[in-house]
A and B are shown apart, each in its own frame.
Chain A
Amino acid sequence: MSDLRELYQELIVDHHKNPRNFRKLEVSSHHAVGNNPICGDRITVHLLIKDDAVEDIAFEGTGCAICTASASVMTETVKGRHLWEVESLFDRFHDVVTGSPDEAPDTSGLGKLAAFAGVREFPMRVKCATLAWHTMHAAIEKKNEPVTTE
């Protein structure tokens, strides 16, 4: 149970049950659809980008707890940040969830994103944790085709 509680931390279960910024934006400049065909996760990320910063961000769709919570925490974390900060957060988040389970993750300064460090113990679930980030990245890059984790 301890490993599982490590994965399904209260913060993750909370954000899964009550996802933040779970809606469509009335005014948006960028959006993209992300697919995780293995488990049926499918989310859309909407962004309003002004002066190279994320003025607003929201998401919709269905997904597992890891996917939904990751999208929810991501939207909270990146709102108001410069795009270069967002990309650097994505890099660090990616390292946290894909790092070796034998090494302690560097989560300093990552805030709530650190809650996803448990994912590195579950390689089958990395795609769930990163889907929202890949989708946001594609939206910012203005790629029109759906993102897939495959």
Chain B
Amino acid sequence: MSNPSGIPVPNAASDAPTTLDVQRIREDFPALHQQVNGKPLVYLDSAATTQKPLSVIQAVRQYYEKDNSNVHRGVHTLSARATESYETARIKVQRFINAADAREIIFVRGATEGINLVANSYGRKHIRAGDELLITAMEHHSNIVPWQLLCEEKDAHLRVAPINERGEVVLESYEKLITDRTKLVAITYISNSLGTINPVKEMIELAHRRRVPVLVDGAQAGPHLPLDVQEIGCDFLVVSGHKMYAPTGIGALYGKLELLESMPPYQGGGEMIQSVTFEKTTYNDVPHKFEAGTPNIADAVGFGAAIDYLNALGMQAIAAHEDDLVRCAIAALSAIPGLRFIGTARDRAAVVSFTIENIHPHDIGTILDQEGIAIRTGHHCSQPVMDRFGVPATSRASFGLYNTHAEIDSLVAGIYKAKELFSLE
């Protein structure tokens, strides 16, 4: 049942172009065309959330204007249309990450909810006192805290694979930390604070040798590189739509079918049941077993439209463009005296974290904002990473498919302005 509703879905990835026409692409993003503090917006915060193309905004609007209804409920035309749109979006996600079966895609609010679902369902069923869970030292809080809560409840232990000075996982240590006590590994594909791309395929193989399932946090990878869950072999993967040019409040959890089928429900309610009496309830099949209540249909449709948009451009071309941007940014920023990169992994995505000597990131953020430049400053929900590098916070510029070299020049000019403002000799 790879296509349960028999709806034809275009497979756009194959004949996508190999380079991006960024100036034309920018026309698709209304939010990019505005002045901030009297300056043209330079949006360098796509790792926090991406701007949305018109096709996504229109898909959500069209859903509400024409198709709005509840899914899997009624026999009337609108309900059928809503169901078809929603299930088509599921197939789009399935194909985008190359899952074998559409039932392996569960719609959630975002990567965070996906991880919490696995922790609460798979984790509470399988983790016992004395067991261990393994994460890395570069995880986002969303891939730390759900496991801590689980460990607290089950009297299990959270182990952390260390990272080196470059911000790369120390693979030898990671391998040694996988023992007979390890019951689950949860690792990020791309670090949101360091930009590191982890060798997830190799890390998954190491875990699988000891029969330990692996969850991959794909929140940063989804918008940046071609995802292929069968190629990397992960057992679970989570993505957030809003980091992939889709609306907020929608994301997906991928899980291997046999795992999902063996897991208890996460939340109870409508949609997730087959029959209910006061004595006994039988649950619906996956994925519906994990989608209690009326789902976020409109934003799932928007998610599907975002995937169409990404496919039309081609993930290879997007990755190449963002690689070019990050190389250019590193070269340009390297020339600034007193600038220190936090995270210098050899394999990295379009995220650049840095500190400037004697200027706090928060001040840099305010000064750049006055120049219309949006970057993220703070701990990026990765306080352990900040502690590892001995900084309270960093400035982070992150790039999306719509960013240009000229915007990197603006960033550099803005940083020089901050330095000028802070020089008092």
Contacts and interface: CB of A to CB of B under 8 A. Distances in A.
Do A and B truly interact?
Answer: yes
Interface of A: 1, 3-5, 7-8, 10, 13-14, 16-17, 37-42, 62-68, 122, 124-125, 128
Contacts, number: 63
Interface in B364-411: 366-367, 370, 377-379, 386, 392-393
Given A17-B358, A40-B393, A8 B378 contact: no
A70 to B, nearest CB: 13
B421 interface: yes
17 contacts: A1-B421, A3-B370, A4-B370, A16-B422, A17-B358, A39-B360, A39-B361, A39-B362, A40-B362, A41-B362, A41-B392, A42-B392, A64-B363, A65-B422, A66-B363, A67-B362, A124-B366
B422 A13 contact: yes
B56 to A, nearest CB: 28
A124 B368 CA distance: 14
B424 interface: yes
Contacts of A41: 362, 392
B25 interface: no
Given A13-B422, A39-B377, A40-B392, 4 more contacts: A4-B366, A4-B370, A38-B378, A39-B393
B170 interface: no
Contacts of A17: 358, 422, 424
A72 B392 CA distance: 19
Given A13-B421, A14-B424, A65 B359 contact: yes
Contacts of B363: 8, 64-66
A38 B393 CA distance: 9
Describe A's contact surface by its main secondary structure.
Answer: helix
**Range, interface on chain B:** 20 to 34
A122 B366 contact: yes
B208 interface: no
B424 A40 contact: no
Contacts of A64: 360-363
B26 interface: no
Contacts of B367: 4, 8
A40 B379 contact: yes
Nearest to A5: B421
B181 interface: no
* A-B pairs with lowest CB-CB distance, top 3: A40-B392, A64-B360, A40-B393
B355 to A, nearest CB: 11
Contacts of A38: 378
Contacts of B393: 39-40
B417 interface: yes
A67 B361 CA distance: 12
Nearest to B417: A1
Which of B37, B362, B386, B393 has the most C-beta atoms of chain A within 10 angstroms of its own C-beta?
A: B362
A8 B370 CA distance: 12
